[in-house]
Chain A
Amino acid sequence: MSELTRMTAAQVAGVIASGEVSAVEVAAAHLDRIEAVDRRVHAFLHVDREGALRAARDVDDRKVTGPLAGVPVAVKDVVTTRGVPTTAGSRILEGWKPPYDATIVSRLRAAGMVMLGKTNMDEFAMGSSTEYSAYGPTKNPWDLGRIPGGSGGGSAAALAAYEAPLAIGTDTGGSIRQPGAVTGTVGAKPTYGGTSRYGLIAFSSSLDTPGPCARTVEDAALLHAVIAGHDPCDSTSIPQPVPDVVGAARLGATGDLTGVKLGLVKEFAGDGSEPGVAAAFRESLEALVKLGAEVVEVSCPHFEYALPAYYLIAPSECSSNLARFDGVRYGLRVGDDGARSLEEVMSLTREQGFGPEVKRRIILGTYALSSGYYDAYYGQAQKVRTLITRDFQAAFKKADVLVSPTTPFVAFPFGSRTSDPYQMYLADLFTIPTNLYGGPAVSVPCGLSEGLPVGFQVMAPTMADDRMYRVAAALESAVGTFAPPEL
């Protein structure tokens, strides 16, 4: 394996900027690595070799500068890329080439970053294992018999397998953080509205948040800084300056957390985390205390309703967002034989184009929004959401950040949770409250349990994304990074 693929994004940017290596060499090294390992890992749904080399040549020719100029990046397949297939992991969008770039993709290109291709995911970002991808699951580079997390398992696995130094993910209920945790990589969900959703194929509009995936906290912050910031094309985008996340990550890396208060959520204790996960989390907490942090207990009494509220709000929005996939305008069309009615064609297209989890959620959401049930389900879930937000606001009066394990269990074997949806949903137990609140949260590797990575989650108040990077970087400086066995 080329040394170039082992480097952090910051290091890669450094050697390109100094002229030591060209952007084309860097791109080629990663494309070669993908070629060598992706048959086994299946992190990518589409590799854009030509586009990547063209972009890299452009960086070399025009001497594009910037903190991440020439650095390769993989993009989750739920984000539109002009002229490059975008499927959202679904059969129903097979072969669709968007005519436009998502805002965050435009920003990657403007920063001189080189897009390697599109990464695998659970269909329409619904799932925690990539087992619901219509194109087959991604394998966890730590153990090819185990899941890489989801929905953004492709992006996380691409990092862990050294196929890319950076990746874009999207987080609706934990889809950046949980894959980060189980692959030993860093995954950050920015403040909702801090990164543009324009061009992100919607699953749940009020929760979806694009964010950075990386192997180090500083790299994640560098990518965060490139993609974040107000976008007039997204009404829910926040018209405020981006917090100094890179500065915060570098400050944290000095290993001083004096005076920082870490809130330990009382309701998350005794929660069904695996013993190894609980142990790694406790040890990390002690490490942070050694760096000067103070632990305070906070109570968030409504967190226990987060999962049910989420599983009403997200499916409701998804049932409406996914209505447009009907075979009329783009993507798959089934049964258009001239004899069948339009309704039959729409119905057959959706029957064959959507997988089981997507159908389950569309049905759930359709039911929850239907007349007579709206108040009891969707309306009630929105009230819970308000209460959870108040829990966070009260907790942040006592603590600077909240901390928890990212996910209750390490990477599980394929097939072990697909038969019971609820067992799968539990993977997001600790990540979902943040999505309902809208604040930022990051998962950073904190140790191993039975040889598999454990993630440590840091949650911060809205638009205080810098705080979580500082704490995460401090933890990283204390516990180090974790590399999987050679593939």
Chain B
Amino acid sequence: MTTTVLPTYEDAVLRYEPVIGLETHVELGTRTKMFCGCRTEFGAEPNTQVCPVCLGLPGSLPVANRAGIEATIRIGLALNCEIATWCRMARKNYFYPDMPKNFQTSQYDEPLCVDGYVDVELDGETYRIGIERVHLEEDTGKTLHVGGSTGRIHGATESLVDYNRAGIPLVEIVTKPVPGLGAKGPEVARAYVTELRDIVRSLGVSDVRMEQGSLRCDVNTSLNKPGEEWGTRSETKNVNSLRSVERAVRSEIIRQAGVLDSGGRVVQETRHFQEDTGGTRSGRSKETATDYRYFPEPDLVPIAPDPAWVATLKAALPERPSVRRARLREQWDLSATDMESVVNAGAVELIEETIAAGASPAGARKWWMGELARRANETGVELSAIGATPAQVAQLQALVDAGKLNDKLARAVLEGVVDGEGDPSAVMAARGLGVVSDTGALTAAVDEAIAANPDIAAKVRDGKVAAAGALVGAVMKTTRGQADAKTVRELILERLGAH
């Protein structure tokens, strides 16, 4: 293809309407695989969590994992879907070495859940994203190309396959095409995946970590001129973070606008998102796509969820994350922006638990969004894995409220907690931190400071009360910051008769 001049994003969305669709895969956190009893732990030695069934050895047969079906139904219910009363798994036939049977057990025209929606909030607007279907399938293994410089098959001397992931239950969530988003398209796409992630996480059925691949996203994008029919879509894979979802849609809008501007035709194809450039690269063309020859899986019996059971599952769904967020925002008295940063920092549960452990909303938020968030950012760990628990943070705040720690000391104590030195009280004791409240010792320090700074003391005696600050500083220095500045100030003024 010849190089086309790319329009700016603003220009592209001025002239073209994007239609966006998302296919999201969620790897379920079931203890065992979908069709056998193998474990599903992430990061195990290659090919150690395998058996005749997930290796597809001749003669082996699948048996469905009830937990996987239940989790899929709960996801469907949380996305306002209808649940099938009878459906079947299907075989998707194609040859690929990371697929042990050369067919994937999936669902085709009889998905477990259909026709739902998710409401997504963005900048005070609500966007309703239609859900086409939610279905259950098995994951494939992973192919590793070694010997080359790129890790891709090209130039590799050997290809190795790890089947640990093969057979782990995977839920595919497909949206209906979403038109009419205009320039907001990329952000809404990101907000949708974020909302979906939060919903799935609230159900406790997956850890939904994009960086570990337990949440994977394919983005479909097409452009059309206003009033015209929808254009040909591209499917972008390898979109591995929330940020990438937004970037991928944005770059596809720009790329396709460039193609259309130059009189070209958008090709229906699979493209791969490039994390480094933020663009997409052409993959295999769907026009010569494989015929998957779907047919009902004869080795499995149909799935017929009892409506009474489904009703029980529905009744037991947790509060929707968006509803919960609105409730908490009100309870915590936060602005929409402040709440959004709490959500983005992954601090909602942490703050909630800290409050439950006795802290005030403001106190709890202050530590998690301040000191701890900064520390998490610096060390590159998730806030929830920082090493301080909500109970510890609540204790810290209680010590501050009781006047036993000042702000500066509290930060030092928190550092000790994060470094694994124990609870705040233990860190205080071990590091010798804590406000000096013994007035005798404090008075001595004050007298010492007055004696060492006669000029300043004279000024204060003469009524220049503001000069007392220097004396306070001196006292704080000798007490290594362990005094309450307000108390020190009062003591100084009292000793110098400046009241």
Residue numbers of A with Cβ under 8 A of B are 79-80, 86, 88, 93, 96, 98-100, 102, 197-202, 204-206, 232-236, 316-317, 319-320, 323-326, 328-330, 342-343, 346, 366, 369-371, 374, 378
Whole-angstrom distance between the alpha carbons of A80 and B53 in the complex? 13
A79 to B58, alpha carbons, bound, how many Å?
9
A369–B108 alpha-carbon span in the complex (Å): 14
Nearest Cβ in chain B — how far from A81, in angstroms?
10
Shortest distance from the beta carbon of A170 to any chain B beta carbon, whole Å:
11
User: Which chain A residues border B56 with CB–CB below 8 Å?
Assistant: 324, 329
Cβ distance B395 to chain A, nearest Cβ, rounded Å: 51
Q: Is the Cβ of A324 less than 8 Å from the Cβ of B61?
A: no
Which residues on the B side are within 8 Å of A99 (C-beta)? 52, 57
In the bound assembly, the distance between CA atoms of A200 and B301 in angstroms comes to 18
> Once the chains are docked, how many angstroms separate the CA of A102 from the CA of B59?
8
Assuming A100-B52, A317-B298, A320-B293, is B97 touching A80 (CB within 8 A)?
no
Do A370 and B301 touch (CB < 8 A)?
no
Q: Which residues of A contact B299 (CB under 8 A)?
A: 202, 205, 235-236
Report the separation of the CA atoms of residues A342 and B300 in the bound assembly, to the nearest whole angstrom. 31
What would 30 A/B residue contacts be, using CB atoms closer than 8 Å? A80-B57, A80-B59, A86-B59, A88-B58, A100-B59, A199-B59, A202-B58, A202-B299, A204-B298, A205-B298, A205-B299, A233-B61, A233-B63, A235-B299, A236-B299, A236-B300, A236-B301, A317-B295, A317-B298, A320-B103, A323-B102, A326-B102, A328-B161, A329-B56, A330-B58, A342-B97, A346-B95, A370-B291, A370-B293, A371-B292
Report the Cα distance A324→B94, complex, angstroms. 10
Indicate the member of B102, B293, B300 with the most A CB atoms within 10 Å: B293
Question: Do A206 and B52 have beta carbons less than 8 Å apart?
Answer: no
Type the 1/0 row for B90-112, where 1 means its CB is closer than 8 Å to any CB of A.
01010101001111000000000
Tell which of A88, A328, A369 touches B93, judged by Cβ atoms closer than 8 Å.
Answer: A369
Docked Cα-Cα span, A233 to B37, in Å, equals 10
Which size class do B's interface residues fall under? Answer: 20 to 34
Q: Which residue of A has the minimal Cβ distance to B297?
A: A205
Say if the beta carbon of B159 comes within 8 Å of chain A: yes
Contact of A329 among B55, B293, B301 (CB under 8 A): B55
Within the assembled complex, what's the spacing in Å between the Cα atoms of A102 and B102?
A: 22
Distance A261 CA – B273 CA, assembled complex (angstroms): 70
- Sort A-B residue pairs by CB-CB distance and give the 4 closest, nearest first: A323-B102, A205-B298, A369-B293, A206-B298
**Within 8 Å of chain A (Cβ to Cβ): is B62?**
yes
| B residues near A232, Cβ cutoff 8 Å | 63
With a CB–CB cut-off of 8 A, which chain A residues contact B295? 316-317, 320, 369, 374, 378
Assembled-state Cα–Cα distance A324/B99 (Å)? 9
Asked, given contacts A235-B299, A374-B295, whether A98 binds B93 with beta carbons under 8 Å apart, the answer is no
Chain B residues positioned under 8 Å from A198 (CB to CB): 59-61
Q: How far is the CA of A328 from the CA of B93 in the complex (A)?
A: 17
Per-residue A-contact encoding for B47-87, CB less than 8 Å = 1, 0 else = 00000100111111111100000000000000000000000
Interface contacts beyond A320-B93, A330-B57: sample of 4 additional A-B pairs, CB < 8 Å, sorted by A: A198-B59, A329-B56, A369-B93, A371-B293
How many whole Å from B293's CB to the nearest CB in chain A? 4
Nearest chain B CB to A82's CB is how many angstroms away? 11
Question: Closest residue of chain B to A100, judged by CB?
Answer: B52
Residues in chain B near residue A366, CB distance under 8 A:
293
* Min CB gap A284→B, angstroms: 35
CA distance A401 to B224 in the complex (A): 66
B59: A residues at CB distance < 8 A: 79-80, 86, 98, 100, 102, 198-202
Name which residue of chain B comes closest to A197, CB basis: B61
Which of A197, A198, A325, A366 has the most chain B CB atoms inside 10 A of its CB?
A198
Q: How far is the CA of A281 from the CA of B471 in the complex (A)?
A: 121
> How many whole Å from A238's CB to the nearest CB in chain B?
10
Complex Cα–Cα for A357 and B91 (A): 23
Contact A326 B95 (CB under 8 A): yes
> Are A371 and B291 interface neighbours, CB within 8 A?
yes
C-alpha spacing A96/B91, complex, angstroms:
26
Task: Evaluate contact between A235 and B301: CB separation under 8 angstroms.
Answer: yes
Closest CB-CB distance, B462 to chain A, in whole Å? 92
Q: Is the CB of A235 within 8 A of B61?
A: yes
A320 x B57 contact (CB < 8 A): no
Residue numbers in A under 8 Å from B58 (CB-CB):
80, 86, 88, 93, 96, 98, 201-202, 324-325, 330
Q: In the complex where A317-B298, A370-B293 touch, is A98 in contact with B61 (Cβ < 8 A)? A: no
Residues of the A chain whose Cβ atoms lie less than 8 Å from the Cβ of B161: 328
C-alpha spacing A381/B226, complex, angstroms: 47
| A329 adjacent to B100 (CB under 8 Å) | yes
A residues near B95, Cβ cutoff 8 Å: 323, 326, 343, 346
List, in ascending order, chain B residues with CB within 8 A of A320's CB.
Answer: 91, 93, 103, 293, 295
- Which residue of B is nearest A382, CB measured? B296
CA distance A164 to B219 in the complex (A): 62
- Chain A residues with Cβ below 8 Å from B293 are 319-320, 366, 369-371, 374
Q: How far is the CA of A324 from the CA of B291 in the complex (A)?
A: 17
Cα distance A438–B56 when bound, in Å?
25
- B54 to nearest A CB, angstroms? 12
